[in-house]
Amino acid sequence: MPNALVRKLEGYAPLEVSDRERLLNVCEKTAVVEADRYITRAGDSPKDVVVILEGLAVRSKLLRDGRRQILAFLVAGDFCDLHVAVLDRMDHDILAIMPCTVARISRNAVQEMTETRPRLAKALWWCTLVDEATLREWLVNLGQRDAEQRIAHLFCELQTRLQAVELTTDGSFGLPITQDELGDAMGLSAVHVNRSLKALRDAGLVSFRGRTIHIPDIERLQNFADFDPSYLHLRHGPEAESPVPLLRQA
């Protein structure tokens, strides 16, 4: 199975064969983190850069009173902390939601790659900037959209990102999270998440089989959620780069 990181980076720009080999080489030594284990904690000063090769993790921040906000879902191919090389310490946690296969890349290796391989350097920059753009889009999501649109938007994002690393089949992908976790990501209570999911289901916008999500008509869901994939800056438009029609219905 080809490496998710390679697939992701090639979704941004073509790599040279030697770049690809270097990446595979650097991802060779892997480890597995069990579900519900922290990959990194706030306050850590991680020595290595961690990449998720398989599984699902979240970036999250805990408040003093115990509430938490999930800031991002990390899927295969995603870096946990590419940046923190520069800052002193992590200001948030990385938590495995399901068992994750991760590779730890030493900072030296990262530095060597970025200094000697301009394409790779650019691709890594891309990752950082897409992470930031995604954060902005989440802010729009929490600030401006109601619960149903919010969740729909997340599903659109995940569908697009997982498709980029070839982890979707048809309009389906696995998302083994609880409604509680979904609530922590969307700034909603679990109960309200539940009701909103029901509404989305009843509207025929999404369906669930076990813990996999099926989107019967992606364009319709994107339209409902006002989802515009351009913030993910993928090279191949996910598919429909047609100008999307306006607004949503009830």
Partner DNA sequence: CGAGGAATTGAGAAACTTCAACCGTGGTGG
Partner DNA sequence: CCACCACGGTTGAAGTTTCTCAATTCCTCG
Which residues are near DNA by CB under 7 A? 146-148, 178-180, 187-192, 194-198, 210
Smallest distance, Å, CB 198 to a copy of itself? 22
Residue 214 interacts with, from DNA, a copy of itself, none (CB under 5-8 Å by kind): none
CB-based contact 25:102 (threshold 8 Å)? no
63 is a site residue for a copy of itself (CB under 8 A):
yes
83 is a site residue for a copy of itself (CB under 8 A):
yes
Smallest distance, Å, CB 25 to a copy of itself? 25
129 is a site residue for a copy of itself (CB under 8 A):
yes
Smallest distance, Å, CB 37 to DNA? 14
Structure tokens at 179: 């409604």
Smallest distance, Å, CB 190 to a copy of itself? 14
Residue 192 interacts with, from DNA, a copy of itself, none (CB under 5-8 Å by kind): DNA
User: According to the 3-state scheme, what is the secondary structure of the chain?
Assistant: CCCHHHHHHHCCCCCCHHHHHHHHHHCCCEEEECCCCEEECCCCCCCEEEEEEECCEEEEEECCCCCEEEEEEECCCCECCCCCCCCCCCCCEEEECCCEEEEEEEHHHHHHHHHHCHHHHHHHHHHHHHHHHHHHHHHHHHHHCCHHHHHHHHHHHHHHHHHHCCCCECCEEECCCCHHHHHHHHCCCHHHHHHHHHHHHHCCCCEEECCEEECCCHHHHHHHHCCCHHHHCCCCCCCCCCCCCCCCCC
112 is a site residue for a copy of itself (CB under 8 A):
no
Edge-to-edge strands, sheet with 212-214 = 172-174, 212-214, 207-209
CA–CA distance, 120 with 13 (Å, rounded to integer): 9
Residue 122 interacts with, from DNA, a copy of itself, none (CB under 5-8 Å by kind): a copy of itself
CA–CA distance, 55 with 214 (Å, rounded to integer): 19
Residue 31 interacts with, from a copy of itself, DNA, none (CB under 5-8 Å by kind): none
67 is a site residue for a copy of itself (CB under 8 A):
yes
Shorter beta-carbon distance to a copy of itself: residue 42 or 203: 42
Residue 127 backbone phi and psi in degrees, to 5: -55, -50
Residue 147 interacts with, from DNA, a copy of itself, none (CB under 5-8 Å by kind): DNA
230 is a site residue for a copy of itself (CB under 8 A):
yes
Using CB under 8 A, pick the residue from 31, 32, 140, 240 that binds a copy of itself: 140
Residue 178 interacts with, from DNA, a copy of itself, none (CB under 5-8 Å by kind): DNA
Interface positions with a copy of itself (CB under 8 A): 59, 61, 63-65, 67-69, 71, 83-84, 86-88, 91-92, 122, 125-126, 128-129, 131-133, 135-140, 142-144, 184, 186-187, 226, 230-231, 233, 246-247
